[in-house]
Amino acid sequence: MSDDRFKAIGMGDITMPGGWSVNDGQTFLYTDAEREIMHQSRAFAQREILPLAAAAHAQVKEIKTRHDGKVRREKLRAIARDYLRLLGEAGLTGALFPEEYGGNGRGVLAECIIDEELAAAGHPGDTIRSVSLTLGTISILRYGTPEQKKRHIPPRLRGDELAALAITEPQIGSDTSRMQTKAVLKGDRWVINGQKRFITGGGLADYLTLFAITEEGAHPHKGMSTFIVPMDHPGVTIQRQLDEVIMADWMDNAWIDFKDVDIPRDNLLGPLNGGYHVLMDELDTERVTYCMAALGSARRALEIAAEYSTKRIQFKQPIAMFSSSPSPCSKVCPSSWRRCTRRWTPPASSSTAPPRWSRRGSPHSASRR
Ligand SMILES: Cc1cc2nc3c(=O)[nH]c(=O)nc-3n(C[C@H](O)[C@H](O)[C@H](O)COP(=O)(O)OP(=O)(O)OC[C@H]3O[C@@H](n4cnc5c(N)ncnc54)[C@H](O)[C@@H]3O)c2cc1C
């Protein structure tokens, strides 16, 4: 099809504006300052991260195919650290953390905006970023001693230390209150025994934020505590990398065993037997930030679909024009789909004029006319 008949959409055209309501009223939900954060993080993610993402995925896949055990973990860890360092230098890692610990204190909404933009750029290290900086570290900020905060938060924001969150066990998933991993105080050391499964980034982490039962027989909400556990400690072993949980080019998910892991008493995080509240507070932040990351990934999928379906020609027209093609995309987010595509106007039967694309309207609506 010649250019005068069809103008395909390129990635530059279709990157969607953030912060719009999903309704047709097109109300901006963000303040000017928040929009500025969105523009900055989007520009960085699109310019600096997106071009690296495909090669990084291929590299991760190759490492996972060729290497096992410690070598594999070291190689994957290097990719995750490089990614975090890049983000740290750009000031994109510290929104949840105050300046005194190396952050910028811009808050949870800023973190959400950044999460969406980074997820849309699709680097494999981004799962490690969220487990290390949000899931594994936010409880240290909220419940840690000044020493714990000073020791762990700044190196994590720089990408020098990686963390993961360990809640799930082979026998417990949604019902976190029934966990079986136990920590017993012996002298001035906590001794941990149990298993944690499905731990994202567990194989790459330097430390886990781990939940364990500290008072058996108490109500589960009142007998759980939180610990900072070094992964290189004797008794901590990776039983298995769970590659079946995640795709081959994602980074890491681990099943970890703890056998008589004795850590200093000071590694208790937050109040003794107050772990359930620490956990619920962490999940509150995790849920909202992960939602935004999911939104970013979905947005990227929609952008790719919009680009492909306006470039792919079958039966002399872009496949976006066939009634079935745009439907899934336009159902995911009708207003975004409308914004990221242009309406193709078929020539009037009596006219010899070429078909036109306009900025407004959707292929879906065009196909229904
Ligand atoms: C890719 C991936 C990454 C993960 N990363 C981590 C991590 O970093 N750290 C960590 O600790 N865990 C992690 N998990 C574990 C995750 O948190 C658990 O999978 C989750 O808590 C659910 O537990 P489960 O899989 O055992 O399912 P189950 O709890 O056995 O639930 C099975 C099904 O029953 C449904 N169900 C359960 N309870 C109810 C209810 N009350 N009402 C209605 N339906 C119910 C669930 O919705 C689900 O569909 C990860 C899991 C995956 C798949």
Top mean pLDDT of 21-30, 147-156, 319-328 is at: 147-156
Lowest mean pLDDT among 53-62, 83-92, 291-300, 305-314: 305-314
Is 330 domain-assigned? no
Question: CA-to-CA distance for 162 and 208, rounded, in angstroms?
Answer: 9
Is the confidence at residue 309, as pLDDT, over 90?
no
Query: 218: domain range?
Result: 165-277
- What one-letter code names the amino acid at 2? S
Enter the pTM of the model.
0.85
Is 252 domain-assigned? yes
- The more confidently predicted of residues 100 and 244 is 100
Q: What is the CATH number of the domain that holds 198?
A: 2.40.110.10
Mutate to test the pocket of ligand 1, among 127, 130, 138, 168 (most ligand atoms within 8 A of CB): 168
Name the H helices within 144-274.
146-158
Q: Is the CB of 173 under 6 A from ligand 1?
A: yes
Q: Is the CB of 168 under 6 A from ligand 1?
A: yes
Lowest mean pLDDT among 90-94, 132-136, 313-317: 313-317
What pLDDT was estimated at residue 366?
Answer: 33
The size of the chain, in residues, is 369
Instruction: Look at the block and give the residue holding tokens 């959400």.
Output: 112
What is the CA(238)–ligand 1 centre distance, in A? 20
Spatial CB neighbours of 171, under 8 Å, sequence gap ≥ 6: 178, 180
Are both 130 and 215 inside the same structural domain? no
Indicate the average pLDDT of the chain. Answer: 84
Q: What is the CATH number of the domain that holds 20?
A: 1.10.540.10
Are both 154 and 114 inside the same structural domain? yes
Is the confidence at residue 353, as pLDDT, over 50?
no
Atom 47, ligand 1: which residue's CA is nearest? Answer: 174
Are both 105 and 178 inside the same structural domain? no
Q: Which atom of ligand 1 is nearest to the CA of 200?
A: 8
Q: Is the CB of 165 under 6 A from ligand 1?
A: yes
Q: How many structural domains comprise the chain? A: 2
What is the CA(283)–ligand 1 centre distance, in A? 13
- The more confidently predicted of residues 92 and 177 is 92
What pLDDT was estimated at residue 17?
Answer: 62
What is the CA(144)–ligand 1 centre distance, in A? 27
Contact 363, 346 (CB under 8 A): no
